[in-house]
Structure 1
């Protein structure tokens, strides 16, 4: 789920966002289809919290003009719009807020644990890379909304082993996604032998 909050100043001001959620005059709009699906827990939480909220349905999600999709942060649903009293809002996904909190707890040093690259760093750096491919990425990932995540990405991008790997023939033969055209196969790559691949490199 993507949460859309009131505009906040400073670097990912999560305390301000928390205050918005706690305010009795905050209202919500939930964009999702007319099905229960993955939205059940969200609707249950809104109901249990006695929140003032409105259900929104896409006008035509599969329409060729894609206006419904491009109006959302990541072209996905559900989206929970959080309306502050003054009516202002910004598109800051909930997961960014959570990750920024974890990164600040570790000293905002560009790592989730200690001062070295971990699996968590690698996964988040990849996620940021994917997000930055979206047309609206600049509104979602920036120094204002996600300084910690960008620092993680920078730490991963400049790690000597990662730099060496990305300069390899094998890495350059990998396409960003299956939507991209195939690239020439690297000489070091093989094919599945369909027998368990018991022979190593």
Structure 2
């Protein structure tokens, strides 16, 4: 893949660039060819009916190509604006907030927006905790790390999110009665866990939470998101994810034996 050069952000005439950013014409999203931190952005781009291209970063070339990204991490969103500017955003949460604003997924007022961002951030950190604590940990401590996740991180996340979902009427949404960034982010986190080698143990717990399963099912029923997941590209990402998480190439290695 010929990666776009985006090691630095545009700085000049930021007021004009802000106006450009508010009027995107098309997008390119660079991420690994799996379902992980880039998945929420992919699904929002589909939900919003955007013109976009899914760029897959090969781990084989990452050593050099990471230098062409702002923080040497993925995802990166490349934006072609209506006035022909080429802009870039990096960091998953920033990209997701931007896309959510573009596609009216941040509620109807500032209070709803901040509620949605809080629920979104909680589920983002929850998924990241699993990735760092279990997926990418050294094999010699994986069983202990998984137990900690199942006994502490997972039940705490479920308990706190169930309360907020009950407060909203247990209707499959965190805020109001329409789809939001928070709904999609939580659904993606759950779907992410279904792709893990430990999925049976994890989903045995999550399936007992009617409110969270309702969010997952509500997002899955959205026509555009459902079509993306069922597409050839979506199916390939799912299968590649299962293989990746079985033997993650970036996982920590056990310490050498004395």
Q: Normalising by structure 2, what TM-score? A: 0.35
Q: Is the helix fraction higher in 1 or 2? A: 2
Question: Rg: which structure is higher?
Answer: 1
Q: Normalising by structure 1, what TM-score? A: 0.44
